[in-house]
Structure 1
């Protein structure tokens, strides 16, 4: 087989392939064995029609398309490997010659992975901050833990306030006509959560147990249900019960309840250490992102639209997976948010382009610096994954091999090593805190 590659634009070229006549004959044989099973010829059972009779009745040309479908994918794959190119989109294939006794010639217009011209990537200045935890941050974390361990108590004598859980019945009407989804009984609504139509929760604030009230609101213009968008509605509301969070006292008893420590001071010391560790991880991630972004910004690369679109689809699939883990799906999310799939894709496009650019630059830096992943490193990662998923490393390897992801694991490890290389070769500079703009004190 002969294969030649000619670039016609930056990331676009033509792959010309000629396959030997012997392989064409073999592909025609496979095509006949497939088609003859369904051929209806008087006097012969299906699958038993002799080849000469089949060709005289239907013509050898009737086998061409099936033979091309058999031969083209394998010839294309071999040609790509032979010419050492990296396609990033489906090829546009033009069949130039295919006939019995002749070679098979086709051309494929292909978008390939772009070339990257590296700029400076060593000695990049990266601002760093100290992983210090302030008393304000520690107090905020303790307040969050208080909220998490708060008890809900029924309030009978006071009016509903923001932060309370109001247990309500509601029945919604538009133009005095009830609408679908506008009715519920004993629904628990956290006031101030902004989970209902704008203006609804504010009008429940101040109600007392047993009160009835007509709550008047207007649906947002971009509301997901088009028949309700922009419409005025009246909800007949009955307040059954008010529940209020009762925060536990911050004392030694609290520390005993939520941790293994005997005193609040011991617990606070441990909590501060945890926050410092968490902040160190966050700052490490910020530094890694900063140095990769700088290296990518210094490089020159023209990214094909096909690579960006492919990354967008990957991001959409990942997002859908996360939604399903939370008990939702993509259709539900789009309905609730009033968006279309195209809206979501457009929102992700900027991040997708940045991801593709960064990964392309990291790949080239890895080659430039001879950064490779050993089999030992792969095995170590498999062991880590096995511990996380309560499986054996052999099982994890088998799963990744079956779904074709073992190579992706090596690529991921290579990217990590390359990022570590960039960080270790960067220069730490003190982060400059932004000075807040002076407030305008002029009278209106």
Structure 2
């Protein structure tokens, strides 16, 4: 096989491929085996018709498309490897020649990974903010712990308040006609969570167990279901149960229940250390993000739309997975938020562009600095992963090698090592504290 690559624009080029006659013949043989299993030829069972009779009846040309479908993916992949290019989108294929006894010729117009011209990437200034834990932050942390250990208590008397969890039936209709997704029984709704159509939860606040109410709302004009967008709806709501969080008292007993310490004072001291460590880690993450963003801004790269579109799709899948982990899915989210898939994708484009740009620049820095991932690096990562997955590092390596993910792990480690390099070679400067200017009265 012969393959040549010619760039015609920054990220666009043409791959010209010629495939030897022997492989064309082999592909035609495979196509005949496939097609003959379904061919109806009088006097022969399916799959038993001789090749010569098949070709005289249907023509050898009837095998061409199947043969191309069999051969093209294989030779295209081989041509990409031989010319050392990195396609980022499906190619546009133009068949120049395909016939029995002839060389197979085709051209592929291919969008490839863009070239990156690095600017300054060492000595980049990164602002550093001192890590301080205030009493207010410590109290907020304790408050979150109280929430985590709170008990849900059924409210026998009184009315629903924001933060309560209500168990409700609802039956929605527009102009008296029920609509899909507008009905549910014993649905658990946390008031104030803003998961329902605007105005719905506010009207449930103040209701008591056993109450019935017609909740009137208006679907947003941007609602994903066009037949409901902008329309008024009535939901018949019944309250089955109201549950309210009962927070534990912050005392020594609480400290004993949630920690290894005997007193609340000791626990708060340890908690302060935990918060400091977490904030230091968060601050490091912020500095990493800042240095990568700065280095990416100083680089030159023209990103193909196909790469941004692909990243948006990846972000959409991640978002859907996060929603499912919370007991929701993308369809439900769009229904409640009044958005369309296109709206969400449009919102993600900016972040997608930034992600792609940063990753491309990090890859180029890694090449420029010869940053390598050793087998020892991979082993350490697998050992760290083994604690989370409760499987040995050897087992995890075998699994990743089996599903082809070990290379992805290698790339992830490489990116992290590159970010560490940039951060260790950056110049830390004190973060500027922004203060409001004094008013004319204050300055007098």
> What TM-score do you get using the length of structure 2 for normalisation?
0.87
Q: Higher mean Cα deviation, 179-188 or 343-352?
A: 179-188
> What is the aligned partner in structure 2 of residue 31 from structure 1?
31
Q: CA deviation at 1:377?
A: 1.5
Match runs of 1:43-58 below 5 Å: 43-58=43-58
> What is the aligned partner in structure 1 of residue 100 from structure 2?
100
Q: Higher mean Cα deviation, 278-287 or 148-157?
A: 148-157
Q: CA deviation at 1:401?
A: 2.6
Match runs of 1:280-295 below 5 Å: 280-295=280-295
> What CA deviation, in whole Å up to 9, does each residue of 1:237-296 have, x standing for no partner?
777876654433322122112222100110001111111111111111111111111111
Structure 1 position 316 matched with structure 2 position 316: yes
Q: CA deviation at 1:382?
A: 2.2
Number of residue pairs matched by the alignment: 441
> What is the aligned partner in structure 2 of residue 404 from structure 1?
404
* Structure 1 CA distance for aligned equivalents of residues 148 and 169 of structure 2: 27
* Structure 1 CA distance for aligned equivalents of residues 36 and 211 of structure 2: 80
Match runs of 1:84-233 below 5 Å: 84-151=84-151, 162-163=162-163, 191-195=191-195, 198-199=198-199, 202=202, 218=218, 220-222=220-222, 230=230
Contact 2:195/2:336 (<8 A) preserved: no
* Structure 1 CA distance for aligned equivalents of residues 205 and 108 of structure 2: 67
> What is the aligned partner in structure 1 of residue 359 from structure 2?
359
CA change 1:208–1:439 in 2 (3 A) is farther
* Structure 2 CA distance for aligned equivalents of residues 71 and 183 of structure 1: 52
CA change 1:86–1:440 in 2 (3 A) is farther
Match runs of 1:65-84 below 5 Å: 65-84=65-84
CA change 1:392–1:279 in 2 (3 A) is same
> What CA deviation, in whole Å up to 9, does each residue of 1:303-342 have, x standing for no partner?
0011111111111111222222222222222222222211
Q: CA deviation at 1:42?
A: 3.0
Q: Which ranges of structure 1 fall in alignment gaps of 5 or more residues? A: none
Match runs of 1:426-437 below 5 Å: 426-436=426-436
> What is the aligned partner in structure 2 of residue 332 from structure 1?
332
> What is the aligned partner in structure 2 of residue 390 from structure 1?
390
Contact 1:88/1:113 (<8 A) preserved: yes
* Structure 1 CA distance for aligned equivalents of residues 439 and 49 of structure 2: 91
* Structure 2 CA distance for aligned equivalents of residues 377 and 74 of structure 1: 34
Q: CA deviation at 1:231?
A: 5.0
Structure 1 position 264 matched with structure 2 position 267: no
Q: CA deviation at 1:400?
A: 2.1
Q: CA deviation at 1:366?
A: 0.6
State the SS of the aligned residue for 2:75: helix
State the SS of the aligned residue for 1:383: helix
> What TM-score do you get using the length of structure 1 for normalisation?
0.87
> What CA deviation, in whole Å up to 9, does each residue of 1:413-438 have, x standing for no partner?
11111111101100111111222466
* Structure 1 CA distance for aligned equivalents of residues 16 and 98 of structure 2: 14
Q: Higher mean Cα deviation, 2-11 or 162-171?
A: 162-171
CA change 1:66–1:164 in 2 (3 A) is closer
Contact 2:197/2:336 (<8 A) preserved: no
* Structure 2 CA distance for aligned equivalents of residues 327 and 73 of structure 1: 40
Q: CA deviation at 1:143?
A: 2.1
> What CA deviation, in whole Å up to 9, does each residue of 1:349-401 have, x standing for no partner?
11111111111111111111101111222222222223311123333223323
* Structure 1 CA distance for aligned equivalents of residues 125 and 223 of structure 2: 46
Q: CA deviation at 1:146?
A: 2.5
Q: Which ranges of structure 2 fall in alignment gaps of 5 or more residues? A: none
Structure 1 position 299 matched with structure 2 position 284: no
Q: Higher mean Cα deviation, 195-204 or 132-141?
A: 195-204
Q: CA deviation at 1:17?
A: 0.9
CA change 1:166–1:363 in 2 (3 A) is closer
Q: CA deviation at 1:19?
A: 1.3
> What is the aligned partner in structure 1 of residue 251 from structure 2?
251
After TM superposition, where is structure 1 displaced by more than 4 Å over at least 4 residues in a row? 151-246, 437-441
* Structure 1 CA distance for aligned equivalents of residues 349 and 428 of structure 2: 31
* Structure 2 CA distance for aligned equivalents of residues 64 and 172 of structure 1: 57
* Structure 2 CA distance for aligned equivalents of residues 172 and 57 of structure 1: 63
Contact 1:224/1:336 (<8 A) preserved: no
Q: CA deviation at 1:168?
A: 7.1
CA change 1:347–1:438 in 2 (3 A) is farther
